[in-house]
Amino acid sequence: MLAAMTAAPQPPVIRRIAIDDDRSTGFTEADCALALAAQAWPLIERPIKMAAVERLVTEGRASELVLVSAYRQSRLCGAVLGQILPGRAAIVWLPQVASGEPCEIAIELVSELHHRLSAAGAVMAQALMEKALGDAAQILRSAGYQSAGEVLSMAAEQGSFPDQAPRLNFELERYSPSAHHRLVQVIENTYRGSLDCPLVNGLRDAADALAGYQAAGPFRPELWLLARNGVRDIGCLLLADHPAHEQLEIVYQGVTPEQRGRGWGLALTRHAQWVARQTGRARVVLAVDSANRPAIAAYEAAGFVGWDRRWILIHFFRSTAKPDAQST
């Protein structure tokens, strides 16, 4: 008697699904795929992130979202979502696979997502994970991601803000389009020898990074400041205002290597707190590499406390030669 033969399952069909705001036909294919992909988000964050997706769609920016799905005989068996960011970067969330499907589908989903993101001009993708190791992170590592460090989120409440404008040993100049090149140059200089995610230093153009900083919140030029010592640019402080959350964000601040060790980073932080007091914000928030002990010590001296930790995983779509590191 011949043994019964079972046909091997057909390989899944993997393709991008367009996201739009046409709900005339009810719950759409994109809705189903997005609901599965959204399981990558912590439950407490899911409503906020879904609202952000809907906002992009209604604003006509759905092309910034890249939703890739896997189907086996018309059955949805996996989905992953990425978002194209300014500055030729992208954010990727962990692929989600339906119950009973092999985990290899997750790698195929990420591979197709990478293809789409790269074709759109992104040079790097990043993912935030609660753990750098484990089964979830291993999926992205198998797709070529590597750890760029642990990011510590910190916040300072209004009670720690200075009561008067801090005394500075340097001048602050508001950003203007005519100073754009100078700001790009000073940011590039502050990256030298930086302890914040050193893996990324030199692998992305400072102009691209600046475009990413500008997208961190509603751009207000008066909240972007160049620090000068005489005629020399020695650092910068880039702030974003989030009135709906009653907070000001330090998107980026840095001091050039030659000027470090003078307490000027702390002075910039205190100035950010002063700006928050002047604008009536309840807190100042920021993110810093947890290995950057000097920066964390300065933030703690200004009253900041840590409240969350996430690992950042990075993938580069193109081979990029990294220049020799310079340290002081």
Closest CA to 250 of 156, 317, 179: 156
**138 Cβ contact partners less than 8 Å away, ≥ 6 residues apart:** none
pLDDT at 4: 46
Structure tokens at 97: 């696979």
Q: Is residue 134 part of a domain?
A: no
Q: Is residue 248 part of a domain?
A: yes
CA 184, 190, 194 angle in degrees (round to 5)?
140
Domain carrying residue 34: 13-122
Q: What span, in angstroms and rounded, lies between the C-alpha atoms of 297 and 152? A: 13
Interaxial angle between packed helices 135-142 and 104-119, expressed in degrees from 0 to 180 and rounded to the nearest 10: 50
Closest CA to 78 of 68, 86, 87: 68
Q: Is residue 324 part of a domain?
A: no
Q: Which stretches of the chain drop beneath a pLDDT of 70?
A: 1-9, 21-26, 132-133, 195-204, 318-328
Classify residue 232 by its DSSP letter: E
Distance of CA 203 to the CA centre of its chain: 16
Which of 105, 122, 139 corresponds to the end of one domain? Answer: 122
Same domain, yes or no, for 159 and 292? Answer: yes
Q: Is residue 107 part of a domain?
A: yes
Q: Is residue 99 part of a domain?
A: yes
Q: DSSP readout, 178-189? A: GGHHHHHHHHHH
Query: What sections of the chain are H helices per DSSP?
Result: 29-37, 46-58, 104-119, 135-142, 180-191, 206-214, 264-278, 293-301
CA count, 13 A, side-chain hemisphere, 204: 28
Same domain, yes or no, for 158 and 245? Answer: yes
Q: How many domains does the chain have?
A: 2
pLDDT at 133: 67
Evaluate whether 240 touches 249 at the Cβ level (below 8 Å). yes
Same domain, yes or no, for 198 and 95? Answer: no
Q: What span, in angstroms and rounded, lies between the C-alpha atoms of 5 and 9? A: 12
Q: Is residue 138 part of a domain?
A: no
CATH number of the domain bearing residue 54: 3.40.630.30
Same domain, yes or no, for 169 and 287? Answer: yes
Other CB atoms within 10 Å distance of the CB of residue 153: 15
3-state secondary structure of 285: strand
Closest CA to 145 of 192, 213, 91: 91
Which of 122, 145, 169 corresponds to the end of one domain? Answer: 122
pLDDT at 326: 35
Same domain, yes or no, for 86 and 215? Answer: no
The dihedral built from the CA positions of residue 176, 180, 185 and 191, taken in this order, carries a sign that is: positive
Same domain, yes or no, for 45 and 181? Answer: no
3-state secondary structure of 177: helix
Same domain, yes or no, for 168 and 301? Answer: yes
Same domain, yes or no, for 165 and 263? Answer: yes
pLDDT at 328: 29
Same domain, yes or no, for 166 and 305? Answer: yes
pLDDT at 198: 52
Q: What span, in angstroms and rounded, lies between the C-alpha atoms of 304 and 266? A: 11
Which of 107, 122, 137 corresponds to the end of one domain? Answer: 122
Same domain, yes or no, for 189 and 277? Answer: yes
Same domain, yes or no, for 236 and 285? Answer: yes
Other CB atoms within 10 Å distance of the CB of residue 32: 14
Strand partners, 78: 70, 97
pLDDT at 1: 41
Q: What span, in angstroms and rounded, lies between the C-alpha atoms of 196 and 309? A: 14
Q: Is residue 7 part of a domain?
A: no
**263 Cβ contact partners less than 8 Å away, ≥ 6 residues apart:** 298
Q: Is residue 287 part of a domain?
A: yes
| Alpha-carbon distances of 292 from 33, 145, 160, 305, rounded to whole Å | 39, 22, 22, 15
Same domain, yes or no, for 118 and 157? Answer: no
